[in-house]
Structure 1
Amino acid sequence: MKKIVLQVATFLGALSCFGSSTAAETRTALVPLPSIDDFTNGDGWGVGLGLSVEYETAYEGSDEFELEVDPAGGVQWRNGEHLFFWAGEAIGWRTLARDAWLFQTSVGYEEGREESDSEDGRLDGLGESNSGVTLLLEVRHALVDDWRYFLDGRVLTGEIGTLGIFGAGTCLGCEPNGTGWEIGAAVTFHDGKYANRDFGVNTRQSIASGLPETDVDSGYRSIGVNVNYRNYLNENWQIFGEALYEAYGSDVSDSPISRNDYEAEIGIGFIYVF
């Protein structure tokens, strides 16, 4: 996994040497962070359409990996320090306050795990986990004027339970147009409902699958690191990449559903910004 991350980082770095600095430089993102996309040019509508290719674990706790192609980009409308967006299965709003506080809220749909997610049949008998509408609340705070260092807090809650993420990050070589490298580290916590959605085994599932009944307590879930990259290749084409490594806590790792004590993914994509 480390070798793959290094190879992709080298590839992205080489591509950035060919990026054009013309019209892309005139764009000013809401915040200069690669993980927060902004397809507008300061005000008005912004549209970005593209594709990403990801190599990732097949489901939470899986030791199987799969290659997946997903749409990328979204539709946005910005008015000063307010940005409304629609991306994938989420619609939301971001705003910047006092140049140092980024607030975001969005409503999305979280799909559940299916038995067919495991090609090796390791989910047979478990059925489909809950899907549902979720509400995301996020706050980021810049520790310095250029957002080189920041703190991040997120809460995802809804029918499927509640997940909390608390972390910090740094932006390397980031530009006002939202390009550059971003590295972050985070600790996650979950309530019992969210924990058992991914790693619990109830009585019915135990009988059908042969796995022992398991009830996962709320509390600490994992610790992880993530890397984000974004760059304009020319006036309209944008390349982005991301990598994630998340190490589970003992309660999650001890679940019979967990075949690995970590989750990992790496991806690369292209977006055409209109």
Structure 2
Amino acid sequence: MKKFTSLLLIMLAHGFFSQSALAKEEKSALVPLPSVDDFTKGEDGWAFALGLGVEYESAYEGSDEFGFEAQPAGAIQWRNGDDIFYFAGEALGWRGLRADTWLFDAAVAFDEGREEGDSDEGYLDGLGDTEEATELVLQTRYALDDDWRYWLVGRVVTGSNGNLGLFGLGYRFGDQLDGTGSEINVVGVFHDSEYANNGFGITAEQSAASGLPQTNLDGGFRSIGIDYTYRYYLNDNWQIFGEALYEHFSSDVRESPIARSDYEAEVSIGFIYIF
């Protein structure tokens, strides 16, 4: 009986510490959201990830033309507790977790703008190229429960091309806490007149060169969007990811001759190797 009791205590202790270790491993991500890249696996210090994605997307905002495009994926990250500094693609930034419910993110990003050649059908001829711009992106998410099942999200993008903001609600599927699984966000998007006209406005000079009517947009409601993100570890080093995005434009945006479609859409899939 004494041996049996000792054996039972050992088994219970082993089960407890195994579950504790598993929980610690599962909680390695800064937040358990697939849309928030975290390649550190819960360890402080440097993390490197490199990959490639393929996107099928609208040729430009408001376009009814679609095409495939290859894009690099991954990031260089440095983690210190609840803070991660990162360089990813064309963005340099920081994100931090506060009080387990607030996620803050600040980044300087680069916007390539739009070129006349983005339309194979020549719909942008005479409009010229929109300017490239450096933007400041500020974002926050607030968890509505302990395990980030639901959250509120807000984002502001500001730069030389104007200002854009969004506010919405997100939901995470599954129970993974390591940043894998899937999530969905529904957001309302707003822009000021400068941002709106940079994408959909037509000046008098552009009108004369293109033959399209002069168009000037006011600021306000831009669109409603829905975004789905998926992420899965194939093994310790390889990760597969996917994303689907749909943005339905407001009536004001749809009245622009540049908006040949009522929406913008994108589907992407790719692989990342974590060093």
Corresponding position: 1:148 with 2:182:
no
Corresponding position: 1:72 with 2:67:
no
Q: Following TM superposition, by how much is the alpha carbon of 1:190 offset from its aligned partner in structure 2, in angstroms?
A: 0.3
Deviations along 1:156-199, one digit per CA (max 9) or x if unpaired, are 00111101011111000142210011011000000111100110
Deviations along 1:107-166, one digit per CA (max 9) or x if unpaired, are 011111000000000000000012111000001000000000000000000111101011
- Check conservation: 1:167, 1:185, Cα contact below 8 A: yes
Partners in 1 of 2:234 and 2:27 — Cα distance? Answer: 14
Identical-pair percentage: 60
Corresponding position: 1:193 with 2:182:
no
Q: Name the residue aligned to 1:99.
A: 100
Show the 5 A alignment for 1:25-174.
28-42=28-42, 43-174=44-175
Secondary structure of the equivalent of 2:207?
helix
Partners in 2 of 1:89 and 1:264 — Cα distance? Answer: 21
Larger CA deviation: 259-268 vs 39-48: 39-48
- Check conservation: 1:27, 1:40, Cα contact below 8 A: no
- Check conservation: 1:50, 1:272, Cα contact below 8 A: yes
Q: Between Structure 1 and Structure 2, whose CA radius of gyration is higher?
A: 2
- Check conservation: 2:26, 2:176, Cα contact below 8 A: no
Distance 1:110 1:174, change over 3 A: farther
Partners in 2 of 1:142 and 1:225 — Cα distance? Answer: 19
Q: Name the residue aligned to 2:15.
A: none
TM-score, length of structure 1 as denominator length: 0.90
- Name which structure has the greater RCO, CA cutoff 8 Å, separation 6+: 1
Q: Name the residue aligned to 1:7.
A: none
The total of aligned residue pairs comes to 252
Partners in 1 of 2:206 and 2:63 — Cα distance? Answer: 18
Q: Following TM superposition, by how much is the alpha carbon of 1:41 offset from its aligned partner in structure 2, in angstroms?
A: 2.4
Q: Which amino acid aligns with 2:28?
A: T
Partners in 1 of 2:259 and 2:133 — Cα distance? Answer: 23
Q: Name the residue aligned to 1:254.
A: 255
Q: Which amino acid aligns with 1:215?
A: N
**Structure 2 segments unaligned to the other structure (5+ residues):** 1-21
TM-score, length of structure 2 as denominator length: 0.90
Q: Name the residue aligned to 2:19.
A: none
Larger CA deviation: 256-265 vs 40-49: 40-49
